[in-house]
Amino acid sequence: MTHAMLKGSNIPLEATTVRAVLRWTPGQGVPDVDASALLLGSDGRVRSDEDFVFYNQPRHPSGAVWRLGKKRVGEGLTDTVQADLTGLEPGVSRVLLVASADGETFDRVPALCVLVYDAATADAEPLARFEVTPETGAETALICGELYRRGDAWKFRALGEGYSNGLKGLATDFGISVDESEAVEEPPRSESLSLPLPPEQPPPVPAQPPAYGYPQATSALRSAYGYPQPATTAAAQPGYGYPQPAGPQQATVQQPPATQQQSAYGYPQPQPLPAAALDPDFRLPPQGPQFLGR
């Protein structure tokens, strides 16, 4: 059975581990809400800054109080703090359950409530429900309720007490040390921190595009118009039909002897017979019509 709590009322807790769920309805213009907890001693103040469990310090060193983080449930958003009551140190007499609106006022947060569950029972109905209504609407931080000792037992009390100077003012009021040089705004949340950017690198120098789509030759082989041509050590090639001047490095071409016949366009040329091969007494046989018909 769920107890509908009124402001200032309390109920005993038989559960050894409780889960306090802060719930609200998100929407356009609705600020983000965070749940946190303050562990107080018998004097009503924290023993050290470690007794403040919030988004930048999500778990108490004792391990008895920690944040479970945010979750969407139906049309609502939740942020949860869980406490192991049997694991709390004897010097802790109260655990405040706090809501902060990231510097915004709670009159812009609809349907804000606190649900207290027995964490050992899965899918169970809440033990208590408290509809948190700001007194003025200008509060930027609220103490929604508290878990407190009565002898060896624990109870839950509905509070709804507001602070207009945000989570920083509330924490300072209960003994948290706050550096006065810090800005008024709340510290950046570790949940929303982004990874450090790599060191900025100078932009790469773009490669020179080739002219008119043709690949360019290297500087040693460049032959574009207007560039001086490198001197060549090879013999100059003859031009078409034009005699070439002999350079200082031009090779001497061996000319054939004047008596040697040059071959013309691939046809074999007749070779003269040596004089010793001729017979001085050689005569052609008789030829003529008188020899025909013999």
Which tens digit of pLDDT belongs to each residue from 18-50?
A: 999 999 999 999 999 999 999 999 999 999 999
Tokens of 274: 């040596």
Amino acid identity of 87?
Answer: G
Note the pLDDT tens digit of each residue in 61-79: 999 999 998 999 988 999 9
CA distance 26 to 32: 8
The pLDDT score that the predictor gives to residue 103 is: 85
Query: Which has more pLDDT, 41 or 135?
Result: 41
Question: Residue 202 class from Cβ within 10 Å (0-12 exposed, 13-18 middle, 19+ buried)?
Answer: exposed
Q: Give the model's pLDDT for residue 190.
A: 45
Separation between Cα atoms, residue 171 and residue 38, nearest integer Å: 8
pLDDT beyond 80 at 199? no
Do the Cβ atoms of 262 and 256 come closer than 8 Å? yes
DSSP state of 176: -
Structure tokens at 234: 């090879």
Measure the CA–CA gap between 53 and 88, rounded to whole angstroms: 14
Residue 122: per-residue pLDDT: 83
DSSP 257: P
227 has pLDDT over 80: no
pLDDT-derived band at 219 (thresholds 50, 70, 90) equals very low
Buried b (16+ CB within 10 A) or exposed e, 28-47: eeebbbbbbbbbbeeeeebe
In 3D, which of 215, 208, 95 has the Cα closest to residue 154?
95
Average pLDDT, the chain: 77
Q: Report the range of poorest mean pLDDT among 188-197, 206-215, 239-248.
A: 188-197
Residue 97 tokens read as 């359950």
What gap in Å lies between CA 71 and CA 23, rounded to an integer? 9
pLDDT at 33: 96
Higher-confidence residue: 199 or 158? 158
Calculate mean pLDDT across residues 74-99.
96
pLDDT digits (tens, 9 = 90+) for 138-192: 999 999 999 999 998 999 999 999 999 999 999 999 999 876 544 434 444 444 3
Q: Is the pLDDT of residue 108 over 70?
A: yes
Closest CA to 100 of 66, 73, 134, 148: 134
Rounded Cα distance, 195 and 97, in Å: 31
- Say what the pTM is: 0.62
